[in-house]
Amino acid sequence: MKEFFKYTFATIVGMVFFFVISCIIGTICIIGIIASDSTTKKAKDNSVMILNLSGELAERSDDTFVDQFGGNKISTIGLDDVLEGIKKAKSNDNIKGIYIKAGMLSSDSYASLQAIRNQLVDFKQSGKWIITYGDIYTQGTYYVCSVADKIFLNPSGQIDWHGLSAQPYFLKDLLAKFGVKMQLAKVGTYKSMPEMYTANKMSDANREQVTVYVNGIWKNICDAVSKSRNISVEVLNTYADNLITFSDPTDYVAYKLVDKLIYTNEIKTEINNLLKAKADEDINTLSINDMKNIKGEKKKGDEIAVYYAYGDIVDSEEAGLFSKGNNIVSKTVCNDLKKLMDDEDVKAVVLRINSGGGSAYASEQIWHYIQLLKAKKPVVVSMGGMAASGGYYISSGANWIVAEPTTLTGSIGIFGIFPDVSELLTQKLGVKFDEVSTNKNSSFGTLSRPFSEEELSYLNKYIERGYNLFLSRVAEGRKMSTADVDNVAQGRVWLGQDAVNKKLVDELGGLDVAVAKAASLAKLKEYHATSYPEKSDWIDQLLNYGDDYSDKKMRETFGEFYEPFKLLRTLNIQNVAQARLPFVINIK
């Protein structure tokens, strides 16, 4: 017995010691990560910025220090960090060029890729060089990388070049297998989002609008690549028709898509040649994360706030289910806009919007606060990958709207979808219902039956009223008649370049163009931009890690089916009227 207690005590002491040591090491690692993220760096002479195009491209990076500590497999690249990094590299005399490492990049939109490419074009105007290397170039990464002075490919590599295709999917028959039907009330001939639940194929109207914007995006891609690589658009289309994705790598050189076939270890020699250094000399490199801590131009003049609003527009955090960090929550945004309105240091506000919409009610609340803000200082909207439906609702009241040529916008329409689970409950599961009511519509919304024709008529009137309000908000903001707005509305999605002609957008360009316009409206001679809301600190990241982790795992598990099933899961806490695009535009 004495030996038993001896060994038991030793085991307990060992476990405690191990726990304490682990905590100490973990704390040191966390402090190290936090410290490294906040330490100001200086670029050494003859440095090269490395732009690693791998992972997921989002409006802003949401990788936390917990992800770094745990070794998150899929990194999120913030578009804001990339654009700022390239801008700093252009103005820093010690940085001589950019090396793009092409990888498997998943982007939220071609408009985001277009923004990066345009920033790289601007970088080249400084006279500095850009080179790129990849084992495999996806179509999106090749579009970005085609701006480079030299494109290198692995001798066994591949370039994916096949054109664009949009393939909406439909869940009506899947839901029917479980005895679930979706009841619909909508306004807008082109309002296609509900088709996912109520149809088996694209409507003629939806096919028309998708055809227009898919071809428009592809034309932008081909025009840009054609200009950079001196290949005609006709030839690029021939390459896509012939599916050169599976061509011999040597053919890519003959096609002028690639300058040279080399192995990974040989890229160092190519870079050193450009740096006029010895072939085997070590290269001073800076990643996008490093560039965050490189001093940029000194902030001077008055402040312009750049407020980022991206994700679903929801009434509350709960309506977003797991994705609590990637929603436009009306109450939060309204409070933030009020603070910017009352902040005397902020002379103008740029709203950076990347959203396919959501709750019509939440959109109306945000619209109202934008009007209050606009009464005190200029408000300019910078549209990202999409600012459509509810995203356009909140944009329409600004003084000026700037969009990328390939931004998806418009989609001015409203709908409501309501699941009918009566067949699932009564026929498949054998649930029985009985009823006592005081009035003829007392059982409205019951699970035991679908809506009656009378009930649906009430819902349609409600949705119609929401649509008319939407039209009036756009008409007021864009100084158009409601009839003229209705002609370009009906739920139709427009590319940014087409929306200018429809008076839904004022100017084409990126965030810098919007900031410059805000400065002009505020009559500022000197100015600097500050990003809002501030990214969460490490304490908030730690406290919210469970929610963020759940969201990432759910997205990894369900992929593109995550969003539509999330809506079904949260319908009971969603606003009845929805102003949103399909969750997955699905352009490949």
The set of catalytic residues is: 191, 389
CA distance 302 to 288: 27
State how far the alpha carbon of 244 is from the alpha carbons of 141, 249, 257, 528, in Å: 16, 10, 11, 46
- The CA distance from 203 to 190, in Å, is 8
Compute the distance between CA of residue 526 and CA of residue 298 in angstroms, rounded to an integer: 12
Residue-level length of the chain: 588
Asked if residue 422 lies in contact with residue 443, where contact means CB atoms within 8 angstroms, the answer is: no
Q: Do residues 308 and 532 make contact, with C-beta atoms less than 8 angstroms apart?
A: yes
- Spatial contact of 97 and 129, defined as CB atoms under 8 Å apart: yes
Alpha carbon distance 510, 117 (integer Å): 11
How far is it, in rounded angstroms, from Cα 355 to Cα 73?
26
Is 351 within 8 Å of 400 (Cβ atoms)?
A: no
**Beta strand residue intervals within 188-301, DSSP E:** 260-261, 284-286
Reported in sequence order, the residue ranges of 311-413 that DSSP labels E, i.e. its strands, are 312-314, 327-329, 346-355, 357-359, 379-388, 400-403, 408-410
Q: Which amino acid is at 182?
A: M
Burial of residue 458, with CB atoms counted within 10 A of its CB: 0-12 exposed, 13-18 middle, 19 or more buried: middle
C-alpha 83/C-alpha 78 separation (Å) is 9
Give the pair of three-digit tokens for residue 314: 């929801």
Spatial distance between the Cα atoms of 315 and 362, rounded to a whole number of angstroms: 5
Helix, strand, or coil (residue 443)? coil
* CB-based burial label for 390 (10 Å; 0-12, 13-18, 19+): buried
